[in-house]
Amino acid sequence: MSVKVDPNFMKELESFGLKDASKCFHCGNCTAICPLSEGKTPFPRKLVKYTQLGLKDKILRSPEPWLCYYCGTCSEKCPRGADPGETMMVMRRYLTSKYDWTGFSKRFYTSERFEIIAIVVVGLLVGIALLIFNTGKPDWEHARINSLWPKEKIEIADLIMAAVLSFLLLSNAYRCIKFIMGDLLGKIPFRYYKEQFRELIVHFLTQKQFSKCEDKKQWLIHLLIMTGYSTAFLLVVVFIRLFQRDHIEYELLHPIRLLGYYSTAALLYGCTYALIGRLNKSKPPYKNSHSTDWMFLILLELTTLTGIFIHFTRLLDWPFATYALYVIHLMVAVPMLVLEVPFAKWAHLAYRPIVIFLMKVRENYLRDQASESVESGEVQERAAT
């Protein structure tokens, strides 16, 4: 099989945030210090090598970028300041753009201008849509969002959005699976996937791989943002009928209300911590911030803050402020979902557990294959004697 080499690859990756990979002299310290790096899938040096050599095809087939949670130990201990952790981050951005068949993701990552315009356009469209499509009969006596935008209508819009996002994300995820598994995809019997399905869910919910890293705080922050986000997503997209209530009907300890508070607190703490960390460059994973990292955190933080404000204006029963904030809230939240979920950072929510799952499936399959071939070899030997 021929190996394609792209000598300009490092240049291309610069727009994805690549900076110091060329400094690497391949001592292997990063791979050996990494608590997640394992025998069959050693990283990150391998990916730094692929990057330096311009081996795009190999990168496309690599599961390793999704096995890294970016604790930053490799970068901290790198004798060359080559920042292998950041190279892995660049790989995730690059792969996200490669898995995306629409080509939108690539433009989003490689052009700050495109990124900002896309966010603004989607935000404005949402704003205009909310101004055009409403009942026209707002309740100016009491803050009742449903009087302008009934939850049933929002639910329909939500479901349409969810369907489009799911289609895009799943089709991209399928490409991810295809690239990584190659020919094996069709060969491995279904039961191997079934066996590991529980692990997929566990990984998704606990991010337990991350807890093996030295810096437990990063795992906590990651878990807070991820669970806060997922909870909020379920509340506003799937359970909007239960969530968008005009009166505070639920008592304080009602599950829906508790979930809302949990997700708000988790997102607020997680995002603020990450934002301050990135501003102060407090640890290796926060040292280099791509424009999409900022965009992601800022949109998420703004969504959370506007959500909190709405909660207060509703409690205070201020109709105008509530309606205005509701529009702003959606003008921030929707672009974050529409652009980040299938095309950018949120996509890793799907890719990472899927890849961990696939690696386990592949490992089990190959192990069984190996032991079978040993057994059949023994049988043949016996037959021969």
Binding site for other proteins (CB under 8 A): 25-33, 37-39, 42, 45-46, 77-81
The answer to whether residues 293 and 278 touch, using CB atoms and an 8 Å cutoff, is: yes
Tokens describing residue 247? 């009166």
Q: Which amino acid is at 121?
A: V
Listed in sequence order, the residues at least 6 apart from 93 whose beta carbon sits closer than 8 Å to its beta carbon are 16, 17, 109, 290, 292
CB atoms within 10 A of CB 4: 10
| Angle (CA) 216 303 339, round 5° | 90
Count of all residues that appear for the chain in the document: 385
46 or 290: whose CB is closer to other proteins?
46
Nearest CB to other proteins, comparing residues 6 and 38? 38
> Closer to other proteins at the Cβ: 47 or 154?
47
Q: Are 335 and 119 in contact (CB under 8 A)?
A: yes
CB of 293 to other proteins, least distance (A): 24
Residue with tokens 């959606």: 330
CA distance 144 to 141: 9
CB-wise, 32 or 258, nearer to other proteins?
32
User: At closest approach, how far in Å is the CB of 28 from other proteins?
Assistant: 3
31 or 105: CB nearest other proteins: 31
Residue with Cβ nearer other proteins (61 or 175): 61
Read off the tokens for 299.
């949109």
Q: Is 37 or 105 the residue whose CB approaches other proteins more closely?
A: 37
Helix, strand or coil, per DSSP, at residue 151: helix
| CB of 289 vs other proteins, minimal distance in Å | 22
Report how many helices (DSSP H) and strands (DSSP E) the chain contains, helices first.
20, 0
DSSP for 153-166?
HHHHHHHHHHHHHH
Q: Which is nearer to other proteins, 45 or 92 (CB)?
A: 45
Structure tokens at 217: 């705080």
Specify the residue, 31 or 97, whose C-beta has the smaller distance to other proteins: 31
Task: Give CA–CA dist 295/209, Å, rounded.
Answer: 26
Q: How far is the CB of 11 from other proteins (least distance, A)?
A: 25
CB of 76: closest distance to other proteins in angstroms?
8
Q: At what angle do helices 45-53 and 84-99 cross, to 10 degrees?
A: 70
> Are the CB atoms for 256 and 262 separated by under 8 Å?
no
